[in-house]
Amino acid sequence: MHPYLKYAPFYLLSFLPLWTIYLIAKLVYFIIYRLIGYRKKVVRSNLKTSFPNKNNAELQQIERDFYTHFCELFLESVKVLSISKQEAKKRLIIKNLEQLDNWYAEGKNVVLYSAHFGNWEWFAFIPLLVKHQFVSFYQEQTNSYFNDLSIHMRERFGNICVESKSGYKRLMEVQRSGALTLTFMIADQSPTANSSISWTTFLEQHTAFLVGPDRIARKTNAILLYPFIEMPEKGRYEIELREIPMEDSDKVVASFANLLEENILASPHLWLWTHKRWKHSGNQKVDELSSASKS
């Protein structure tokens, strides 16, 4: 079936101008936040423990701003289906793009060690900006329709989507073809007990992080970067690429966590607070995960 037919509702939404999409987002905000209260308990718990020095009024403002952004980002994400190349380049800006060009000229691969921050779906625009072959890791969704839709959107401008479980093998195939790669990996999820993990202090809490991007960066002789994201206005994201040193392997995850925390403190509403990020913070779970990471 042709994608226009298979994903017709999303294509119709994508053809709307952004200002119309943001109007629709206001209605979605009212339903999701005011009526349903989607994951409101999780968000409030996360905010309270992450910002113990903020008062209730400040926490409520972050909460409202987050839900506003949450509704807008998922609606604006469908613009990937129909946005022009020229418009996409205006919506996602890499402020120090020349550094990527220099690494490309030096024959260096790059790994973006990223998070659910800003609008990660608009990273699909990056192939329009860089010389590297863009490769993004993803976790397969249980719903095949939405899984296929996500891949269709993300690969529109030349991105190669690879499922995380076979990601390294596929990445090696791309590199053996002669391409220098820029690999995008999101690593702020709460890890499972059988994941490789590293513990560090993050937003005032003892936090387990997935290990992976730094290992792939070492194996592929790549530069490891954190994309520090700002949203100067609705529908426009600016990225400053910040290098993460890899000389001390024990400090890489902590460096990523520190950069992500700095980003969150600067723009707290842009992070995905609906995650149950600290569900393994209890002593029993800490012991279980620590044991699993050593096995």
Give the start-to-end residue ranges of the domains of the chain.
3-294
The answer to whether the Cα torsion of 228, 170, 215, 179 is positive or negative is negative
Q: How far apart (Å, rounded) are the C-alpha atoms in residues 201 and 241?
A: 23
Encode pLDDT of 147-202 as tens digits: 999 999 999 999 999 998 888 899 999 999 999 999 999 999 887 766 678 899 99
| Residues 207 and 201: beta-carbon distance below 8 Å | yes
Written as one letter, the residue type at 270 is L
Considering only CA atoms, which of 151, 270, 278, 292 is closest in space to residue 204?
278
CA 262 to the chain's CA centroid? 15
Give mean pLDDT, residues 226-253: 95
Walk across the sheet containing 181-186 and list its strands. Answer: 92-94, 236-243, 222-233, 109-114, 181-186, 133-138, 160-163
pLDDT of residue 284: 38
What is the per-residue pLDDT for 293?
42
Residues 26-62 have pLDDT tens digits of 999 999 999 999 999 999 999 999 999 999 999 999 9
Q: Tell me which H or E stretch contains 209.
A: strand 205-210
Instruction: Please state whether the predicted TM-score (pTM) of the whole model is above 0.85.
Output: yes
- The residue ranking higher by pLDDT, 289 or 80, is 80
